[in-house]
Structure 1
Amino acid sequence: MKLAVVILALAMTGCATVEDIEHTPATMSVMSGKSPREYADCFLGKIADSRKPPLVEAHHEGLQIIVAQKFSADPAAILNIENRSSGSSIKVYERLSNVPLRPKDVQRAATACISG
């Protein structure tokens, strides 16, 4: 019964745009000693097994990575990676940030690439 409620809630959420996702609270906000390009390359390598190739764009003083949902091309997560003097700052925004049963592959890949 609980699974049916979760599936129904996910089905009713509809599609989200990049702007919608960016206006939610960040699910992760960290600093890394890696440059934005090094961090992005690491993240792309870690997420490759579970998602379609993400879209990488120049964004302010760094990069933005748009990760698609597992079964559609709609955005599921946004990573904003900004250049800092000693590395980069990373903010992760996820579409279903308030759903505890959401896939954790984006968060695991983002965390795995922090140090290095």
Structure 2
Amino acid sequence: MKLAVVILALAMTGCATVADIEHTPATMSVMSGKNPQEYADCFLHKIADSRKPPQIEPRHEGLRIIVPQKFIQGDPAAILDIEPRSSGSSIKVYERISNVPMRPKDVQRAATACISGEA
């Protein structure tokens, strides 16, 4: 039953572009002791088991990671903007269906796991 609700929620939300997602409120805004490349490497390692490889783009002085959806090819599910700070980096996570409580939590789990300055 839960799976049916998730599939219905995904079907109702339709396609989203990077521009659509980046204009939603951030679901997470944190700072990390890691520089942008270290944080990105950690995030990519943590998300590798649950998603296809994300797209990485240079953005301003940092990086942008565009995470693909789990079930629909080609559409983004989340965006991470990682900017350098004096002692690490700031990270903002934007998710496509941020207002759906039963959305997959793998992006937030991976983003949270990589916050500390440790490897």
TM-score of the aligned structures, taking structure 1 as reference length: 0.94
- Residue in 2 that maps onto 1:13: 13
Once the two structures are superposed, residues 1-24 of structure 1 have per-residue CA deviations (whole angstroms, 9 ceiling, x without a partner) of: 776555333212110000100000
- Residue in 1 that maps onto 2:39: 39
> 1:1-116 residue pairs with structure 2 within 5 A?
4=4, 6-71=6-71, 72-115=73-116, 116=118
Please list every run of 5 or more consecutive structure 2 residues that lacks an aligned counterpart in the other structure: none
Contact 2:51 2:69 in 1 (8 A): yes
The alignment partner of 2:43 has SS state of: helix
Query: For the structure 1 residues 34 and 74, does the alpha-carbon distance in structure 2 shift closer, same or farther, using more than 3 Å as the test?
Result: same
Once the two structures are superposed, residues 82-108 of structure 1 have per-residue CA deviations (whole angstroms, 9 ceiling, x without a partner) of: 011111000000000000000000000
Q: Distance in 2 between matches of 1:53 and 1:10?
A: 21
Give the letter for the 1:37 counterpart. Answer: Q
The alignment partner of 2:20 has SS state of: helix
The alignment partner of 1:31 has SS state of: strand
Cα RMSD for the two superposed structures: 1.4
Contact 2:6 2:103 in 1 (8 A): no
Q: CA deviation at 1:79?
A: 0.1
Q: Distance in 1 between matches of 2:52 and 2:103?
A: 17
TM-score of the aligned structures, taking structure 2 as reference length: 0.92
Q: Percent identity?
A: 85
Q: Distance in 1 between matches of 2:5 and 2:49?
A: 29
